[in-house]
Amino acid sequence: MRRAAGIGPGKLRARLVRLMLLVLLMAACAPLSACWDIQYLDQLGVVLAVGVDDDPKGKFRYQVTVQVVLPRNASPGDQSGNGSPVMTISEKGDTLFEAIRKMSAKTSRRLFFSHMQLLAIHENTAKKDLYPLLDLIDRNADIRSDISVVIARGLRAEQLLEIRTQMEAVPANQMKEAIEVNEKAHGQVFSVLVRDIVRMADSHLKEAAVPAIGVEGMPEAGNKDNNVTQIKPDVIPELTTMAIFRDGELAGYLTPKESRGYVFLRNRIKSSVLKLSCPRTDGHYIVEIFDSDTRTKVRQSPQSSDTPLVHVQVRMEASIHELTCQDFNVHDESSFREVELAVNQAVEAELDAAIGALQKKLRSDALGWGREVYQDQPAMWKRISGNWNDVFPNVPYELECISRIQSMGIRSNSIAK
């Protein structure tokens, strides 16, 4: 109070008035902001998956289907309803955005794409062009670019998004997570995100590869209650293999073996299992590869200075998981070597098959060898990049597989006879 007395009552009052004015001004600013972009959670239709097909009537370029989650049904809780956890809306348009905006005629909530998980593209649409579909996602600041991309193989993307799934209430989640589980445990496919493809497209040094999803069962039965109330569902989405693109257009699919070989070559194997035949008797044994590292190096081929020689080295840590061979002596050190050799051969065969398919059948550098050449032999790349598409199918390569068996499990010889 001592200081207040020093100021004097007149000055104090002036200060108070100024303060009040400031408060008033600030209060007046609040309604001006008007919450212009406020959008409440319960007024949002959260889109988890988008499917793109050709317009069956051919009038427009695309038919777009969105899978909107219904939170009331999707998250189990006290207020959960009994209806379907998601719904789909389809609309046609020449671009993705056009179709999506047209959907506002059919929704009571604003569609919200920030939580999109999955982009499913029908194979026929993918055959035309992939890149135009991704521009919207990459350009828009509100949409994440970690969306998983899949190819709907053998059925329309619309149908794929209409399949009800049991394990995950939201079908988009089931598919996205299936890819991740497969990547971790089997290595036949790996998840490819929108931003990966966009990066590839930007660099022009690598072709895109995207996992494909088909179904087991008749697709039409997927959109029925039965599919979730029965123990054995009528329809279940099933991962197949990697789909390979050439210049942004779907070129074809790999076989399961080639597909895994491809995953090895891309160094995306986290763990996988190999079935190998017993060396001397009937029966098989299973080897699990739990750690793998692939390195690709490019040298100059001894034949010509314009031919690269690609050297691929795969190092694996593995262990035996199932053993049904009768005469297999687990205690013998030499049997380890034997198994390692067999593993090397099996993996080499898969790599060979994958490279063969990409070079001869699909003629697509989805391995990114162009990029390797560019990095390791920039001078050569300058000379050959112009007709890389013709060079690639004939690039010679060397494969080197090095595996190490770490354990035979916790029992000794097999009980199988």
Among 49, 69, 197, 316, binds other proteins (CB under 8 A): 69
Which range in 40-48, 251-259, 288-296, 384-392 contacts other proteins by CB under 8 A?
40-48
- Contacts with other proteins in 364-403 (CB under 8 A)? none
Among 10, 25, 28, 35, binds other proteins (CB under 8 A): 35
Among 55, 60, 71, 311, binds other proteins (CB under 8 A): 71
Residue type, 251: A
Nearest 5°: the CA angle 93, 98, 100 is 100
Question: DSSP readout, 60-121?
Answer: SSEEEEEEEE-HHHHS-STT--SS-SEEEEEEEESSHHHHHHHGGGT-SSEEE-TT--EEEE
Min dist CB 161 to other proteins, Å, is: 16
Which range in 34-42, 233-241, 244-252, 310-318 contacts other proteins by CB under 8 A?
34-42
Min dist CB 232 to other proteins, Å, is: 27
Query: Residue 272 region, left (φ>0) first, then alpha (ψ -120 to 50), else beta?
Result: beta
Task: Give me Rg for the CA atoms of the chain.
Answer: 29
Count of residues of this chain found to bind other proteins when the rule CB under 8 A is applied: 31
Nearest 5°: the CA angle 183, 184, 185 is 100
Instruction: Catalogue the long-range contacts made by 280-284 (C-beta closer than 8 Å, 24 or more residues apart).
Output: 280/325, 280/327, 281/325, 281/326, 281/327, 282/326, 283/324, 283/325, 283/326, 283/416, 284/322, 284/324, 284/325
Nearest CB to other proteins, comparing residues 90 and 117: 117
Which range in 35-43, 130-138, 217-225, 370-378 contacts other proteins by CB under 8 A?
35-43
Among 25, 38, 231, 415, binds other proteins (CB under 8 A): 38
Q: Spell out, one character per residue from 88 to 127, where the chain touches other proteins: x when CB under 8 A holds, - when not.
A: ------------------------x-xx-x----------
Residue corresponding to tokens 């390195």: 295
Among 10, 25, 28, 42, binds other proteins (CB under 8 A): 42
Cβ 203 vs Cβ 375: under 8 Å? no
Residues found near other proteins in the complex (CB under 8 A): 1-2, 4, 30, 33, 35, 37-42, 44, 46, 48, 69, 71-72, 74-75, 77-80, 112, 114-115, 117, 142, 144, 170
